[in-house]
Structure 1
């Protein structure tokens, strides 16, 4: 769950903040397979990423798991 703040004094303990957006330290990645615009990855860093065809195939055939793709997305961002 993301936490949006307008003032740094509103920061919650146990959250990591990037600008005005915070997310829990223990946040786990998840995929929303039924999103209207296609499979959507909710990254552990609080970012959103639509899965590419290649990433979907890697997940389907077991060549990668959700944590691998999340790690790749964190390296890029």
Structure 2
């Protein structure tokens, strides 16, 4: 089971959202926000994820959505 790195203090650090068994590593919205070290008062967090096999066009799709 995935364990977050407690030594990680960089608020822009990435974290594992799905483990090797494709299970979420967070249990709630507050857990998700806590991973980003955001204020619970005014969390302005947006998460976009796209999951698929190599060569399925994930990067292409995200580039089309956000940059074209």
Q: Which of the five TM-score ranges fits, normalised by the shorter chain?
A: under 0.3
TM-score of the aligned structures, taking structure 2 as reference length: 0.23
